[in-house]
Structure 1
Amino acid sequence: MIPLAVPNLAGREAEYLQECITSTYVSTVGPFVGRLEEQVAAAAGTTGAVAVSTGTAGLHLALRVVGVGHGDLVAMPALTFIASANAVAYCGAAPWLFDVTPDALTMDPEQVADAFERDLEPGPDGPVHRPTGRRVAAVLPVHTLGHPADLDPLAATAHRHAIPVVADAAAALGARYRGRAIGQAGAAISVFSFNGNKTVTAGGGGALVSDDAALLARARHLSTTARVGSDYDHDEVGFNYRMTNVQAAVGCAQMEQLDTFVATKRRIQATYTERFSDLADVRPIPQASWADSACWFAGFSLEGWDADQVAALRAGLRDDGIDARPFWKPMHLQRPYADAPAEPLPVTEDVWQRLITLPCSTGITDDELGRVIAAVRGRLT
């Protein structure tokens, strides 16, 4: 089986891990954590970063530090991995679900602007969603598969209503938005993941990036159990969300290869796009002209196919030794969020079951890539 995405550990990972063992700095104290934060901030184009235990923990912290709390709503796309919505729920809030655009599969700025104009009214603590009476405390766009959301219009709408923007940039490290580094794209905080299948991995972990030192300082404080000073004194309910030096050591070695990894991911998607361009039903994963996607996952959608047909193709490819996978099941179809307020979702409902992701590890060989292409063409011609 050619796997979907596995870590590429061909750099200095083993050397840096041995350094952790030799020094005994294997927990949350050690030099690699700070080094990783500097590397991530530089790549994101921000002045600072805070490393954390998971990307989901990072989203939770980011939402907390911009003020999301119990009973609030957070505007976000329905088409995302469930961790985005779970982070909202951890705050005691609920998602307000929006559609995505067909050219990017990211949050639809026009739908957001129209809904905010129609349904928001001033409240004592910020804008209130008329249909539910809940305060809208944040906008949470998702950079789908590493493709930037169209943040300029989203941020403009949010700022008109004094609502902060937190970007779920889990897989978008290395992406660019309208010529800008992804951390400069208009969100108060952006959050990356270093999960094992991400382009850059630490085996786990994540990072928040921002130019707002106060927000990052509060996130760091909350992530370290809200401890004050060297004694066991804590000034509020905090979280044990710290990244370990061992995780960061792997992450540092991976960040040294970021540019190469992202270039490889883009080459894989471009190869699939070119080699399947003559197949009538195949459409590449969308890439808008104003973005440079990090191309975390590669693949295509199948125009006019129903869910059963797409599932049968995936099963056939797996029989051929190709780890073809489905796409995220949208939030309005997930049991925990079935009752969340939602705008019309025609693009989300049309596209999510027609997408197939294909092997795209940065260490994939030309022979393996050729096998994937041959298997797909064999099933579709």
Structure 2
Amino acid sequence: MSQLDLKVILEALQKVLPQEQSCIGLHEPYFIGNEWVYVKECLDTRWVSSVGKFVDNFESSLAKYTGVNRAVAVVNGTAALHICLQLIGVKAGDEVLIPSLTFVATANAVSYCGAIPHFIDSEETTLGIDPKKLGNYLDSIAEIKSEGCCNRKTGRFIKAIIAVHTFGHPVDLDALYQVCEHFQLTLIEDAAESLGSFYKGRHTGNWGKVTALSFNGNKIITTGGGGAILTQDDSLANLAKHMTTTAKLPHRWAFNHDQVSYNYRLPNINAAIGCAQLENLPEILSAKRALAEKYAQIFQQIYGIKFFTEPDYAHSNYWLNTLLLNEDYAAQRNDLLELTNNYGIMTRPAWTLMHKLPMYKDFPRMNLEVAESLESRIINIPSSAFLV
């Protein structure tokens, strides 16, 4: 069998990317609006910590843009996931279904609750959870009892599914929701990567009982660090705000707290950056789609590798643009990574699958053959909005 011509792939990337940059990062923030103005206002007024008008504005703007009822801003996406799990009642010893193909924060948030990550497979058309395969798997291991869905093999209850919208591409939410209903599972959306992505015309985050967002420096928009919890449920949103503010009871001066909780609130100065970023989100998304279209066009002509495009039902944000090697050429992935990085084009593989990490290697899992194949073939390529 012949080998891929890696230089042809390198040259294709060079044709799309700016020639004047000697080193091109994977995904860098794009500051084109009122970031300096809003941060200066925080400094001038001294409202820099966890209360202030920018926190309120950021939360209301997020809720409006995504179409949910409430948004609660927190310090990062992992904290958002941690609180999401607690809001739906995940307890120590519960199992939570998560894709093995995800960033480690998804599994860590489950572990923070004393719960058990249970790893499930992905599908190549979305890079996210395969609902049909998952349903068949649960048919073989799950038993519905009065208290909920029980894993017959472990004796533990399976409480929830975390659906990760991988690299910004929505999973098949309708099919996954049906699985959740059939097996009495609560759906959480890990939308850390999918701000600006739509499933059948609705923004991601509208199917899960709660949803987590991330605003890390490499996300679609950034607050430096930062995250948010989305929900349609006012009572859950109020509880989320209470839990992320050390469960402090309102009072003019007294420090009274009614439960063990967390100091997870997003500072006003970070929210100020987020407000400015949100104002320019349509322009950022438009630029990213234009970049993705250039990649799709040029890689259409290259044998043995394809540019991953959004599922038919989705309008994706193309957070991280993705090349997918044909299975026959998976062995050349690392050679391509080395070549592109040597030429100043930052590329990277997918995350190491969760079940391969030492702390998670003995946790329950289904057959993960598709995730294992995808891990060996995925290459993320430069995706910053300013590259077009």
Q: What interval of TM-score do these two structures reach, taking the shorter chain for normalisation?
A: over 0.9
Q: Return the alpha-carbon distance in structure 2 between the equivalents of residues 314 and 129 of structure 1.
A: 40
Secondary structure, counterpart of 2:148 in structure 1: coil
1:94-243 residue pairs with structure 2 within 5 A?
94-123=116-145, 125-184=147-206, 186-230=207-251, 231-243=254-266
**Equivalent residue for 2:297?**
274
Q: CA deviation at 1:128?
A: 0.9
- Describe the SS at the equivalent of 1:51: strand
Partner residue of 1:338 out of 361, 364, 367: 361
CA distance in 2, matches of 1:276, 1:329: 25
- C-alpha displacement of 1:54: 0.3
Q: In the alignment, is the contact (CA less than 8 A) between 1:306 and 1:353 conserved in 2?
A: no
Name the SS of the counterpart of 1:140 in structure 2: strand
Q: Is the 8 A contact 1:59 1:87 kept in 2?
A: yes
Residue 305 of structure 1: CA displacement?
A: 4.8
Does residue 290 (structure 1) correspond to residue 290 (structure 2)? The answer is: no
Q: Could you tell me the percent identity over the aligned residues?
A: 38
Whole-Å separation in 1 of the counterparts to 2:234 and 2:334? 47
- Tell me the equivalent position of 2:325: 302
Shift of 1:346: 1.2
Whole-Å separation in 1 of the counterparts to 2:98 and 2:342? 36
Give the residue type in structure 2 aligned to 1:264: A
CA distance in 2, matches of 1:299, 1:131: 37
- CA distance in structure 2 between the partners assigned to 1:248 and 1:204 by the alignment: 10
Q: Which position in structure 2 is the counterpart of 1:328?
A: 351
**C-alpha displacement at 1:160, in angstroms?**
2.5
Relative to 1, partners in 2 of residues 1:77 and 1:23: Cα closer, same or farther, differing over 3 Å?
same
Runs of 4+ in 1 over 4 A off after TM superposition: 305-308
Secondary structure at the aligned position of 2:32 is classed as coil
CA RMSD of aligned residues (A): 1.2
For residues 219 and 116 of structure 1, the distance between their equivalents in structure 2, rounded to whole angstroms, comes to: 30
Tell me the residue number matched to 1:15. 37
Q: Distance in 2 between matches of 1:262 and 1:44?
A: 14
CA contact (8 A) 2:304 2:329 kept: no
Unaligned runs of 5+ in 2: 1-22
Distance 1:175 1:343, change over 3 A: same
- DSSP 3-state at the match of 1:335: coil
Contact 1:102 1:286 (8 Å CA) reproduced = no
Looking at structure 1, the residues matched to 287 and 126 of structure 2 have their Cα atoms a distance apart, in angstroms, of: 20
Deviation, structure 1 residue 118: 2.3
Amino acid at match of 1:224: T
Cα drift, residue 308 of structure 1: 4.6
Counterpart Cα distance in 1 of 2:181 and 2:257 = 34
* Secondary structure of 1:122 counterpart: strand
Structure 1: distance between partners of 2:369 and 2:140: 19
TM-score (norm 2): 0.91
CA distance, structure 2, for counterparts of residue 149 and residue 301 of structure 1? 18
Q: Tell me the amino acid that sits aligned with residue 20 of structure 1.
A: C
The answer for unaligned runs of 5 or more in structure 1 is: 367-381
- For residues 316 and 98 of structure 1, the distance between their equivalents in structure 2, rounded to whole angstroms, comes to 33
> How many residues of Structure 1 are paired with residues of Structure 2 in the alignment?
364
Indicate the residue corresponding to 2:19 in structure 1. Answer: none
Contact 2:327 2:373 in 1 (8 A): no
**Is 1:49 aligned with 2:66?**
no
Whole-Å separation in 2 of the counterparts to 1:351 and 1:122: 32
d(CA) in 1 for partners of 2:328 and 2:358? 26
1:272/1:299 contact within 8 Å kept: no
